[in-house]
Amino acid sequence: MAADIAFLASDELRGRFTLSPDLRVAAEFLAARYQELGLVPVGPAFAVEFPLTTGARATRAPGVAVTRGGKARPLPAGSFAPVAQSASGTAAGPLVFVGYAARSEVAAVHEDGPPDPAGPAYDDLAGVDLQGKVALVLLEVPGRPDPMKLYTRLRDLGDRFNAEAAPLKAAGDADRLRALHAGTRGKMVEMLSAFVPAERLAGVWPLPEDPRTVEFELGAVAKALMAEAAKLPGPQFGFGEGALRTKVERLTKAGAVGVILVRGPRSFLTAEERAADELPTLDGLKLGEALPVPVVQVQWKTADALLGAGKQTVSKLQARIDADRRPRSGPVAGVTAEISVALDPVTAPVPNVLASLPGTDLAQEVVMIGAHYDHIGKAGEGEGECNAVRKGEVVDEICNGADDNASGTAMVLELARAWKQRPPPRRTIVFTHFAGEEMGILGSKALAEAPPFDLKRVVAMINLDMVGRLGPKGLAIGGLGSSDAWLPLLDEVGTAGLDILYEGSVATRSDHASFYRKDIPVLFFFTGTHADYHRPGDTADKINLPGMLAIGEIVGGVMLRLGDGRAVPWKPPGPGGGLAAGLPGSDPKTIVKRVKAG
């Protein structure tokens, strides 16, 4: 396992980004290892390719035309752009302003006064007729910027601070550390002032008593910030509420035939971004399925013109909604809009790698064990998820992904190797390595949609994603709610001396979810996130190999029993059970049990 991780997480493989040639090198390495071990491909080759949508191509120039007072006027090119996920076609109808198309069930947590009555605390679409209409909708949610942008900016701010603080700490220069902290904190408060009043930010990242111990810890800062934001009066909006897909699906369900997006001037983090008001491009890397209707984004100054040339503006409407958190939706009198979009998807073939260990008397039944082998690449790839880190003179710009997920990949390989030393299993075991996980579990999704064998033959799927950093948090095993047989089976296998959290729900964030959605019982092994998660510091030298051996003992115990024909009947998700956005252990209601070592 150490050797495999060292290779997969080496700088030569540059972080195994799915759309890079480096992923192919990793796929060929896996295929060669299985060849050498004497396993067989499931189809013609170990690599099973799937088409990954990487963008879209316009087959005709897009258009938006606005009719007011009987006069049709096309929007100038450059003031709007189709989103890459847009449906193709033409949509026309009266224009309706729908605010953020947001909804909140969570009433305000008023610091003084009684809690709000039950019922939606906020709904931009309440009482709005959208049947056959074109919706003009703000991106994000009331009073909040793009959360990913905010996260990236905070991370950049923190990285710069920590790099500049390091030499001052080494020199014990408390005065300059104090000044550096004040400067960085000032920038943070300024960036956030449009969303959370400065006086509420006093408790976010305070200077410690001894300035020489000051540290910008992104997780802690983000947590403190979210806690402050949650205390603001008015309805609360969930993390996914601002997502483009959520909005468009809600609008379409209400009858809208086309959608015009706009980022309101208050939603930008800086004045430069507000002035630039960048439009989306067609080479988005996280496309997913096409949206149900044509969708374009316009610049906010253009949207102002759509609303009635001066009288009503997006700026004013957004400011009013944000100020008192009350919707301001309604038809734009006398205005109809026509959107026309024609896009073709652009795809690239990407390899999942599958190797089979054929069973004996139960060979028709399949047990899958899998791990994703892709990662986020180097700085500049994968929509900038990997951010370079400066260590003195050296800039590290490769996210090696040793824990995520060279660790799971190596453990799957090792289980295959170990099994070849033993009698063959009764059921067929398929060792599976997914690509495209970091782009939205795309490899497993594609495999579950178009498997090289009948999915009805699959009795269970075991997923290993980040099993290399066993620490004080112990091991988490998720997915126990997918079969009543899991807990007794795991109890029988034992704990290998580890602290273990047994989680009932099925986390949506890794590849097992694609199979759970096909009614296949799943388990998910995971040692938790850490400070090096999705950063250049996730390197092979930090892998806990003895920890991996102990985890491997448990996974191996599970696999031997499954290989030997153990029944794991599918359990349909009950109310409140099933898939969960959070990681194992995040919701006390779905924890099955915790076992402490010793």
Q: Which is nearer to Zn ion, 397 or 465 (CB)?
A: 465
Verify binding: residue 465, Zn ion, rule CB under 5 A.
yes
Cβ 375 to Zn ion shortest distance, Å = 8
Structure tokens at 200: 């509420």
- How many CB atoms are located within 10 Å of the residue 61 CB? 10
Interface segment toward Zn ion; rule CB under 5 A; list 101-109, 248-256, 401-409, 524-532: 401-409
Q: Which is nearer to Zn ion, 62 or 528 (CB)?
A: 528
Structure tokens at 511: 């590849």
* Residues in 298-357 at the binding interface with Zn ion, rule: CB under 5 A: none
Nearest-CA neighbor of 154 among 195, 200, 100? 195
Q: Which is nearer to Zn ion, 124 or 381 (CB)?
A: 381
Q: Which is nearer to Zn ion, 303 or 583 (CB)?
A: 583
Verify binding: residue 404, Zn ion, rule CB under 5 A.
yes
Element spanning 307, H or E: helix 300-308
Verify binding: residue 365, Zn ion, rule CB under 5 A.
no
- How many CB atoms are located within 10 Å of the residue 424 CB? 15
Q: Which is nearer to Zn ion, 123 or 465 (CB)?
A: 465
Verify binding: residue 86, Zn ion, rule CB under 5 A.
no
Q: Which is nearer to Zn ion, 134 or 441 (CB)?
A: 441
Buried b (16+ CB within 10 A) or exposed e, 198-233: eeebeebbeeeeebeebebebeebbebbeebbeebe
Q: Which is nearer to Zn ion, 4 or 465 (CB)?
A: 465
Element spanning 389, H or E: strand 389-391
Contacting Zn ion (CB under 5 A), which of 405, 409, 514, 590?
405
Give the 3-state secondary structure percentages of the chain, helix then strand then coil, rounded to 5.
35, 25, 40
Cβ 583 to Zn ion shortest distance, Å = 11
| Residue type present at position 558 | V
Cβ 501 to Zn ion shortest distance, Å = 18
Interface segment toward Zn ion; rule CB under 5 A; list 33-41, 461-469, 493-501, 550-558: 461-469
Q: Which is nearer to Zn ion, 404 or 532 (CB)?
A: 404
Cβ 221 to Zn ion shortest distance, Å = 24
Q: Which is nearer to Zn ion, 329 or 405 (CB)?
A: 405
* Residues in 165-224 at the binding interface with Zn ion, rule: CB under 5 A: none
Element spanning 148, H or E: helix 147-170
The half-sphere exposure of 156 on its side-chain side, counting CA atoms within 13 A, is 12
Interface segment toward Zn ion; rule CB under 5 A; list 35-43, 398-406, 526-534, 540-548: 398-406
* Residues in 252-271 at the binding interface with Zn ion, rule: CB under 5 A: none
Structure tokens at 560: 């031997």
From residue 410 to residue 449, the character string flagging contacts with Zn ion as x (rule: CB under 5 A) and all else as - is ----------------------------------------
Question: Furthest-apart CA pair in the chain: how many Å?
Answer: 81
Judged by CB under 5 A, the number of residues near Zn ion is: 3
Cβ 137 to Zn ion shortest distance, Å = 33
Burial class (CB in 10 A: 0-12, 13-18, 19+), 17: buried
Element spanning 179, H or E: helix 174-192
Q: Which is nearer to Zn ion, 258 or 351 (CB)?
A: 351
Q: How far apart are CA 357 and CA 40, in angstroms?
A: 7
Q: Which is nearer to Zn ion, 396 or 465 (CB)?
A: 465
Q: Which is nearer to Zn ion, 86 or 405 (CB)?
A: 405
Nearest-CA neighbor of 341 among 296, 287, 276, 301? 296
Cβ 374 to Zn ion shortest distance, Å = 9
Cβ 403 to Zn ion shortest distance, Å = 8
Q: How far apart are CA 188 and CA 182, in angstroms?
A: 10
Cβ 142 to Zn ion shortest distance, Å = 33
Cβ 509 to Zn ion shortest distance, Å = 8
Cβ 408 to Zn ion shortest distance, Å = 8
Cβ 150 to Zn ion shortest distance, Å = 23
What sign does the dihedral 29-375-400-12 (CA atoms) show?
A: positive
| Residue type present at position 29 | F
Q: How far apart are CA 3 and CA 406, in angstroms?
A: 11
Cβ 55 to Zn ion shortest distance, Å = 24
Cβ 385 to Zn ion shortest distance, Å = 12
Buried b (16+ CB within 10 A) or exposed e, 526-553: bbbebebbbbbbbbbeebbeebbebbbb
Interface segment toward Zn ion; rule CB under 5 A; list 36-44, 321-329, 465-473, 584-592: 465-473
Query: 506-507 and 579-580: which strand pairing?
Result: parallel
Interface segment toward Zn ion; rule CB under 5 A; list 125-133, 227-235, 457-465, 478-486: 457-465
Nearest-CA neighbor of 482 among 437, 433, 524? 524
Q: Which is nearer to Zn ion, 304 or 404 (CB)?
A: 404
Interface segment toward Zn ion; rule CB under 5 A; list 211-219, 283-291, 458-466, 486-494: 458-466
* Residues in 137-156 at the binding interface with Zn ion, rule: CB under 5 A: none
Structure tokens at 8: 């997969």
Interface segment toward Zn ion; rule CB under 5 A; list 384-392, 453-461, 463-471, 542-550: 463-471
Verify binding: residue 18, Zn ion, rule CB under 5 A.
no
Q: Which is nearer to Zn ion, 329 or 510 (CB)?
A: 510
- Cα–Cα distances in angstroms (integers) from residue 154 to residues 101, 137, 381, 392, in the given order: 27, 27, 20, 21
Nearest-CA neighbor of 51 among 449, 430, 334? 449
Q: Which is nearer to Zn ion, 302 or 539 (CB)?
A: 539
Cβ 511 to Zn ion shortest distance, Å = 9
Q: How far apart are CA 447 and CA 136, in angstroms?
A: 37
Cβ 534 to Zn ion shortest distance, Å = 9
Residues within the interface to Zn ion (CB under 5 A): 404-405, 465
